[in-house]
Amino acid sequence: MQPPIQHVIRALAEDGRTGALGLAEYAVDSFAATCPTEGDRALALDILLRDLASLRGVAPHLAAFVGRIETYVARLRQAPLPQAA
């Protein structure tokens, strides 16, 4: 079983290694790709944004990293779900 996406993002933020932001974005992409419909994807990303806002409140020292991921998620929400070939 995989850990919740917000736990992955927090772990990457706290680790602070080079490339952590890229790994977090990849994790978000993978999370979004599991959604079968556009509606499911939109709901999942909305919930993720809520969880990230909560994380920002619980761990304010991670606010900059979390803010970048929130921006990335917001951009993903605007992009259409990729169509299968």
pLDDT per residue as tens digits for the range 21-69: 999 999 999 999 999 999 999 999 999 999 999 999 999 999 999 999 9
Flag whether the pTM goes above 0.95: no
Terminal CA-CA length for the chain: 29
pLDDT in tens, 1-16: 567 899 999 999 999 8
Q: Are 55 and 76 in contact (CB under 8 A)?
A: no
Cα distance between residue 69 and residue 60, in whole Å: 14
Q: For the chain, which residues make up each domain, given as ranges? A: 5-78
